[in-house]
Structures are given as structure tokens and as C-alpha cells.
Amino acid sequence: MTQKDYDEIFTKLLELFPNPDTELNFETPFQLLVAVMLSAQTTDRQVNVVTDKLFLKVKNPNNVLNMTEEEFTKQVSSVNYYKMKAKHIRETAKKLIELAAEKNSKLTKNEKECFDKYWYYLPESIEWLTQLPWVGEKTAKVILYVRYHHDIIAVDTHIHRVANRLWIVKTKEPLETSKEIEKAVPKKWKRIAHHSLILFGRYYCTAKKPQCENCVLKDFCRNPQI
């Protein structure tokens, strides 16, 4: 795929989604982390239903630990794998409090700004983020992309599907896509690639009934269903 192809693809995606952004609702960094952790195998829409009430009580790690385990688990019971997610969110809250207590002098500029404003911080590296319970590479990349504005592409099932249909990558598994898409997408488009591809996969290039007939990117598709 040429630079011109990428320019055309992402220009058309920007026409569809002028301001591509996460559809998860949050205000604080910890709320972002919780929302992303809850979103595994669950739609953003359902996560927002849960967090609309949950985030009235939970804004920082202490708020989670001030609730009983039973109370917090009940608050998130309508998402998939809620018991495991509740357990890991509580463990992550403890870990973030421990990191904050250390007040490490080696904090990055972004971590320090987060700490100064909220008294805790989310690590600004995949290596550190993935040491938190239930935080895999995809979740870590979302945090780096949304919170710290890294030019990085977190791959979910939507991006895996769309990237393969558009010939951006030729892969079998999302983890493989995660590696290949970082090399494939030009730097100039990485700032908008993540959410524009997700939104395109969520509302146009869907898994079961893609809107191929009227698709603005059908000329790039390897398997148009027309």
C-alpha cells in the first residue's frame, strides 16, 4: 500500500468521523482506566451505562477501596466477566496507591503532571502498565493514546477486522495485527488511526453485515460483500 493509498483512506475516514475519539465516558485518569478495563468483551455503550452511576462514587483509587468488595462487584455486575474485572480493578487501585506513595523522582513529565493534579498517576509505558492486573497490551496502548497522546494504535477486534479487509495488514490474530499495523500506518496518520478505524468497524465495516454497497473505502477492500 502506498502513501497515497493511506492518505486517501484516512482522509475519507476523517470525512466520516471529523473528530474521532473514544466513546467511553470518563473525567479522571483512573476513571479512564476503569472504563477501559470494564470494556473487555463488553460494548462501550454497556460500559457507559455502568459507569454513569459508578463514577458518581468512583473518581480515584481510594474510592474503590472505600467500597466493600461486594458493593463494588454489584456496581459492575452487568458487564461480562464482572467478578474477575471487579477483583482486578480493586487490585489495580491498591497498586496505583502504592506507586503514588513512592513519589518516584523518575516520573516522566506527563506522569508528574498527572500526579500533581490527581495525587496518583498512570504509568506512561506499556511495560509498567501491563504490570497492573487485567491490563494487557491493548488496554495499555489505549491509556497511552487517550491519556498521554502517544501516536500509537491499540488493536481490538474492530481494528483487526478492518485493517485486514483494507489490506493494511495481512494477519490472523489481533496481537499480530498490533505489531504489523504500527509499522504499516504512516506516522502522519497515527494520531487519528486508532479511533477512526474503530468507529469505521463499529458502524460501517461491521463483522456480520458490513455496509459494502455504499462504503467509501470499497475500492481498498479485499473482500467486498456486494
**Catalytic annotation, pick one of 156, 172, 187, 219:** 156
Q: Is 138 a catalytic residue?
A: yes
119/112 Cα distance (integer angstroms): 9
How far is CA 79 from each of CA 30, 44, 76, rounded to the nearest angstrom? 18, 10, 6
Catalytic residue among 44, 85, 138, 141: 138
Active site annotation includes 156: yes
Q: Residue 126 has which C-alpha cell? A: 506499556
**What is the Cβ-side half-sphere exposure of residue 168, based on CA atoms within 13 angstroms?**
30
Instruction: Specify whether the CB–CB gap between 156 and 212 falls below 8 A.
Output: no
**Contact (Cβ atoms closer than 8 angstroms) between residue 72 and residue 44:** no
CA separation for the pair 217, 168 (Å, rounded): 12
- Residues marked active site are found at 138, 156
